[in-house]
């Protein structure tokens, strides 16, 4: 819902509610040896829902002071009531003594909430020279619950039951940004920004001191948000009455208290730790050309690199200093063209084609070459196209994605029974959007 307060601010209120029901089934192979039943890991269903509510005010005056203020709330919940690992024929293998083919079963539920308030403002202190700043304060809660955990004991050939388990964590945090920009003429802007980002924390299923060595690392109830300090500077420019746009930006990201898999040394308990630091640096170039009426050409080039700068020594983590960050491609290229023409008084038709290239990337941390699960995800390129119409009431488009049917392996998870994820095959479809 939108409402305009004249000479004050525009109010926007939005609500989102989404539910999903999915499943996961993975074959683990004959874990008891050749000729024995295949084990299967199955989580079905995975029930998820989230609710988001936001209210935002944006100033609409001609004053040199402009501002934004708002409130934000999100509530996430996920439950897997039937998570199990089983092997069809396991009970028969042991002469029907077990009474079940299950090896492991449990009921897991997780949830988190976030309530935030934010404000952002800019002030033009001289012609073309603006200062910007903002802050966001947020409170998070998270919880983890597990009930009915049952695990087959191959010594007693009975099922060990674990007491129900619940864990909760909460915290209050903040993020911010500050910047300066200078526009000496219309179509030329220089800017610099610094900001703090975060990723919300959650709870640990394992926590507390070690029963083997009470002086060892004490696993916290929950892990905190990890944070980044982001630096960016660049220039945005346009020439020839806006027919040529050239933008260039450089960035550096300082990442602290990384949320990373941890293992305690004394008892090998696993948990999520806030440990170590990393950095990412890069450049991005963007251009857009309007060579003829209705024709747009555009392209983007990103070159970047990121690595681990430090790791803890009091716990075991799957990373080493100097490791490249998983999933980070050094090169990314994208570009395309669009042609639009008028069809009637209020309708435009268009034809669009886009191409993307993503460089190879690590699948996980290399641990200085000692990680046997380390591999390199393939580089890949895709081509998409669409044809459609834009009208007062909305948009209708026929589209094709991955037109070359590239089946490059974009993720190699060597710890899984089915380790390769490829691009989605060539896909055609129809999209309809309605505006009110």
Statement: residue 51 has pLDDT above 90: yes
Q: What is the CA radius of gyration of the chain?
A: 27
Query: Residue 417: pLDDT above 80?
Result: no
Q: Is 91 helix (H, G, I), strand (E, B) or coil?
A: helix
Per-residue confidence (pLDDT) for residue 131, from 0 to 100: 97
**Is 329 strand, coil or helix?**
coil
pLDDT above 80: residue 337: yes
Higher pLDDT, 331 or 31: 331
Query: What pLDDT score was predicted for residue 171?
Result: 85
Domain for residue 154, yes or no?
no
User: Rounded to whole angstroms, how far apart are CA atoms 56 and 9?
Assistant: 10
* Confidence check: pLDDT of 342 > 80: yes
pLDDT tens, residue by residue, 212-232? 999 999 998 888 888 999 999
pLDDT at residue 152, rounded to an integer: 93
Mean local confidence (pLDDT), 377-398: 95
For 172-208, the pLDDT digits (tens) are 889 999 999 999 999 999 999 999 998 888 888 788 8
Q: What is the mean pLDDT of residues 302-330?
A: 93
Task: State the number of CA atoms in the 13 A half-sphere of 356 facing the CB.
Answer: 12
Question: What integer is the mean pLDDT of 35-39?
Answer: 92
What confidence score (pLDDT) does residue 155 get? Answer: 86
Task: For residues 145-166, give the mean pLDDT.
Answer: 90
Token couple for 292? 């003829």
Kindly report, residue by residue over 5-24, the tens digit of the pLDDT: 998 999 999 999 999 999 99
Backbone angles phi, psi at 91, to 5 degrees: -65, -40
- Is residue 84 situated within a structural domain? no
346 domain-assigned: yes
Residue 92 has pLDDT above 90, yes or no: yes
What are 123-150's pLDDT values in tens digits? 999 999 999 999 999 999 989 999 999 9
370 belongs to a structural domain:
yes
Residue 253 lies in a domain: no
Q: Is 80 domain-assigned?
A: no
pLDDT computed for residue 202 by the predictor:
80
User: pLDDT-based confidence at 421, cuts 50/70/90?
Assistant: very high
Question: What value does the mean pLDDT take over residues 81-110?
Answer: 93
pLDDT attached to residue 190: 98
Which among 301, 291, 367, 285 has a CA at the least distance from the CA of 334? 301
For residue 436, pLDDT over 80 is answered with: no
pLDDT band at 418 (very low <50, low <70, confident <90, very high): confident
Give me the domain span that covers residue 410: 328-436
The pLDDT assigned to 410 comes to 93
Helix, coil or strand: residue 368: helix
Predicted confidence band at 26 (pLDDT cuts at 50, 70, 90)? confident
Taking the C-alpha atoms of residue 351 and residue 366, their distance in angstroms, rounded to an integer, is 44
Q: How far is CA 383 from CA 75, 106, 225, 386, in A?
A: 37, 43, 37, 11
The per-residue pLDDT for 255 is 95
User: Domain total for the chain?
Assistant: 1
Instruction: Give the pLDDT band (50/70/90) at residue 280.
Output: very high
**Does the residue 373 lie in any domain?**
yes
**Residue 411: is its pLDDT beyond 80?**
yes
Burial of 348 (C-beta count, 10 Å sphere; 0-12/13-18/19+): middle
**Per-residue pLDDT band at 165 (split at 50, 70, 90):** confident
Report the percent of the chain where pLDDT is more than 90.
77
Section 46-68 average pLDDT: 96
d(CA 235, CA 188): 7
pLDDT at residue 203, as a whole number: 83
φ and ψ at residue 90, rounded to 5 degrees? -65, -45
* 227 in any annotated domain: no
Of 65-69, 224-228, 287-291, 352-356, the least confident: 224-228
pLDDT of residue 91: 92
Instruction: Return mean pLDDT, the chain.
Output: 93
Question: What is the mean predicted confidence (pLDDT) over 240-267?
Answer: 94
Residue 88 confidence (pLDDT) above 80: yes
pLDDT at position 298 is 97
Residue 89 clears pLDDT 80, i.e. is over it: yes
């Amino acid at each position: 819902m939108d409402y305009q307060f004249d000479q004050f601010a525009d109010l926007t209120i939005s609500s989102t509610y989404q539910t999903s029901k999915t499943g996961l089934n993975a074959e683990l192979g004959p874990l008891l040896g050749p000729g024995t039943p295949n084990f299967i890991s199955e989580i079905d269903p995975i029930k998820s829902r989230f609710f988001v509510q936001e209210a935002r005010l944006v100033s609409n005056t001609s004053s040199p002071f402009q501002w934004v203020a708002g409130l934000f709330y999100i509530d996430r919940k996920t439950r897997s009531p039937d998570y199990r690992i089983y092997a069809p024929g396991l009970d028969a293998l042991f002469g029907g003594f077990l009474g079940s083919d299950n090896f492991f079963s449990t009921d897991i539920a997780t949830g988190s909430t976030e309530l935030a308030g934010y404000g952002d403002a800019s002030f033009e202190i001289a012609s073309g020279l603006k200062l910007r700043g903002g802050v966001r304060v947020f409170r998070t809660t998270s919880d983890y619950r597990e009930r009915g955990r049952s695990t087959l004991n191959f010594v007693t050939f009975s099922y060990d039951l674990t007491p129900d388990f619940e864990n909760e964590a909460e915290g209050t945090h903040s993020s911010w940004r500050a910047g300066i920009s200078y526009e000496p003429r219309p179509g030329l802007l220089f800017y610099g920004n610094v900001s703090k980002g975060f990723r919300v924390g959650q709870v640990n299923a394992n926590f507390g001191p070690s029963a083997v060595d009470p002086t060892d690392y004490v696993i916290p109830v929950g892990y905190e948000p990890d944070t980044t300090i982001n630096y960016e500077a660049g220039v945005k420019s346009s020439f020839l009455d806006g027919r040529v746009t050239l933008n260039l930006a450089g960035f550096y990201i300082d990442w602290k208290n990384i949320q990373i898999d941890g293992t305690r040394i004394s008892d090998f308990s696993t948990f999520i730790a806030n440990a170590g630091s990393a950095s990412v640096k890069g450049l991005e170039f963007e251009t857009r050309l309007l060579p003829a009426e209705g024709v747009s050409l555009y392209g983007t080039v990103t070159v970047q690199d990121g690595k681990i700068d430090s790791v803890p020594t009091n716990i075991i983590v799957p990373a080493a200093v100097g490791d490249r960050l998983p999933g980070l491609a050094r090169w990314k290229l994208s570009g395309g063209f669009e042609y639009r023409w008028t069809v009637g008084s209020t309708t435009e038709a268009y034809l669009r084609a886009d191409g993307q290239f993503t460089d190879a990337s690590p699948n996980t941390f290399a641990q200085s070459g000692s990680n046997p699960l380390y591999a390199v995800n393939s580089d890949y390129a895709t081509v998409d196209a669409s044809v459609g119409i834009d009208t007062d009431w909305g948009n209708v488009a026929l589209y094709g994605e991955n037109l070359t049917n590239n089946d490059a392996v974009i993720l190699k998870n060597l710890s899984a029974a089915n380790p390769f994820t490829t691009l989605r095959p060539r896909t055609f479809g129809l999209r309809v959007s309605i505006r009110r």
